[in-house]
Chain A
Amino acid sequence: MSEPKPRPDPSGPTSRRSFLRTSLALGGAVGAGVGTGAFAGRAAAAATEAKNLPPNVPEWSQSLGDGVVSRPYGRPSKFEADVIRRDVEWLTASRQSSVSFTPLHQLEGIITPNGLGFERHHGGIAEIDPAEHRLMIHGLVEKPLMLTLEDIKRFPRVNRIAFLECAANSGMEWKGAQLNGCQFTHGMIHCVMYTGVPLKRLLEEAGLKTNAKWLLPEGADASAMTRSVPIEKALDDAIVAYAMNGEALYPEHGYPLRLVLPGWQGNMWVKWLRRIKVGDEPWHTREETSKYTALMPDGQARRFTWAMDAKSVITNPSPQAPIHGKGFTVLSGLAWSGRGAIDGVDVSLDGGRNWRAARLDGPVLDKALTRFYYEFDWNGEPLLLQSRARDETGYVQPTKAALRQHRGLNSIYHNNGIQTWHVLPTGEIENVEVA
């Protein structure tokens, strides 16, 4: 088999090349940028790479590598150093009340690594000593409770895989195609396995009074985040979680405790959970009045829009992950619904004129990310790629135009409209809208 020749750079003389070069330089990575289109680095390094290619014996086949526990907590290969969270500085006034984005275009399967799950803080990352953390449950209960983390770990446990999507995910795209990459347009989401105590079990321990209708979870960080949660959700599938993907929550995800509300907008999943008050009416806190309400064209606003509707995005190819040449091509993407399990995903190559069923692979779980694939031969012609999720309630992911007909352009949150990627003959991809 002949050695593959470096392909011409498909991304063209655009700013994306400098993006990739910068990330390579920052990470010290060379060449290996699978799915990043990092051809420039590969060409430059071709001479030094050759000594590790057949017929030569690679240097790593001749010398010993690091011993055990040289990395007591493992980390990704240095060649994956550009697989990181990123932010968009102009979005917010401060880094402490801001958001970073999951690199969806560089991930596979349905589980997000803990170190890559997007962050959304309102007062920075609280660094909490678990020995000094308490969960207080009070209000309309028979016995107000004070629980340590050790107490909480004595309750019966549950494990649950669920996606967490920020209500503002894709919010920058309401007025048109704005950010070039699914990391930025769809990356305010992650999906992990949580371990914790059903909130129902904790409320049983406290004993709910008959007029208990609403809960107010509160965070221990400097924003003291509060939301009103209807008691029905708490008694259904809410979890007070202390582990994600098998290990303790990361500080940026609420260590040592967070609320998990499967299918509902991320803002309600209060991190650094320290207090749950039980009441008989909602509190109408800042995060459910000023924020997380949806302004409609008539000047009225929806409130308590808890569930995240069915949504999907093609993660590869995508603007940060161009196609590397004609021929057999794997299209990979994610679908999810806050109302249940994904029933199916359709893919279009012509901007929504014709659709074909994608192949779901791996677990298809209630209110979790679901992986889909569609394999096709690309002949080098321009394409307009779209994906359309359906969930088990019969809901079909709408177009952006259909959403705008109902909601106008200023509702900020809950943009689950169909995303279009324009594939150029070079293999480069851009974020566009079509009609």
Chain B
Amino acid sequence: MSRSRNLIPAALSAILFAATPVAAERLNIGRAATPEEIKGWDIDVRPDGQGLPVGKGTAALGETIFQERCASCHGEFGEGAGRWPELAGGSGTLKSENPVKTIGSYWPYVSTVFDFVHRAMPFGAAQTLTPDETYSVTAYLLYLNDILKDQDFEVNEKNLASIRLPNEKNFFMDDRETAEKEFWTAKPCMTNCLPKEATITSHARILDVTPDKAADSAKKAPPVQ
């Protein structure tokens, strides 16, 4: 199967070609954002490294930070505590019945690790890690996932984007409109659509994990994302 990452669904391409640069008359509402204001909030990072702040870190430094700031939820080795997310491991599980989707096994880009940790972690104390701490935690997560082998290797704004994750090539653009085009049947069957009477194959009642009352709502069942 050919799956181009640049494939654009038909509906989107229709509006793509209709789109023109916007150049209407201004209403002169609001004011110009200053460079200082933008700098304070403009923290996003792209896979090509655009947006990375100046800084550096190593896995060795990151290990100390991770144990203090992250391990209580994510485990000492990123294996996840309780139902909190696993950050490492799961290599080779994506085709299995129970895939383990971690930075090493699933995520396509290192930039996302840096960006997400920097903007939203630790959970409950977001945006408290400095750029250097974030580079170090990122390096440690790469080390836990066997992406970096040397715990003293310095990750910085110049080389982060050149570090590649193993699953990068396995993402492809939404292709439902072609891959699932049989669903655009318009006139479905109305009578005698099954060869015989329908039979029940699965009961929610038997699994019985629907919350009934407060004490029941923590019933054990596989967590979903």
Contact = CB atoms under 8 A, between A and B. Distances in A.
Interface of A: 14-16, 18-19, 22, 86-94, 96-97, 122-123, 136-138, 143-148, 151, 154-155, 168, 171-172, 176-181, 184, 200-201, 203-205, 207-210, 212, 216, 218, 222-224, 226, 230-233, 235-236, 274-275, 277, 279, 281, 283-286, 289-291, 293, 295, 297-307, 309, 319, 339, 346, 350-356, 384, 388, 390, 393-398, 402, 406, 409-410, 412, 422, 430-435
What are the 8 closest A-B residue pairs judged by CB atoms, nearest first?
A: A351-B198, A431-B204, A394-B186, A433-B202, A93-B83, A299-B94, A286-B116, A22-B213
A302 B27 contact: no
Interface stretch (B64-72, B129-137, B166-174): B166-174
A144 B38 contact: yes
A16 B209 contact: no
B217 A297 contact: no
Contacts of A168: 224-225
A235 B42 contact: no
B19 A289 contact: no
B137 to A, nearest CB: 14
Contacts of A143: 26, 32
Of A146, A231, A233, A284, chain B has the most CB atoms within 10 Å of the CB of A284
Contacts of B186: 390, 394, 396
Interface of B: 3, 11-12, 15-16, 18-19, 21-27, 29-34, 37-38, 41-42, 44-48, 73, 82-85, 94-95, 97, 99, 101, 103, 106-109, 111-112, 115-116, 119-120, 123-124, 126-127, 170-176, 179-180, 182-186, 188-194, 197-205, 207-214, 216-221, 223-225
A15 B207 CA distance: 13
Given A93-B83, A353-B194, A136 B37 contact: yes
A398 B179 CA distance: 14
Interface majority SS (helix, strand, loop, mixed), chain B: loop
Given A93-B223, A179-B204, A432-B202, A208 B21 contact: yes
B126 to A, nearest CB: 5
Contact of A355 (B19, B38, B193, B197): B193
A181 B29 CA distance: 48
Of A151, A346, A396, chain B has the most CB atoms within 10 Å of the CB of A396
B23 A433 contact: no
A354 B198 CA distance: 11
A224 B120 contact: yes
A201 B219 CA distance: 49
Contacts of A402: 182-183
A409 B73 CA distance: 28
Contact of A204 (B3, B26, B109, B115): B26
Given A136-B38, A210-B21, A388-B188, A285 B202 contact: no
B73 to A, nearest CB: 8
A180 B211 CA distance: 9
A177 B204 contact: yes
A346 B200 contact: no
Contact of B218 (A89, A293, A299, A430): A89
Nearest to A382: B200
Contact of A353 (B26, B119, B198): B198
A301 B172 contact: yes
Given A97-B123, A286-B116, A303-B172, A138 B42 contact: yes
Given A146-B30, A179-B209, A290-B112, A394 B184 contact: yes
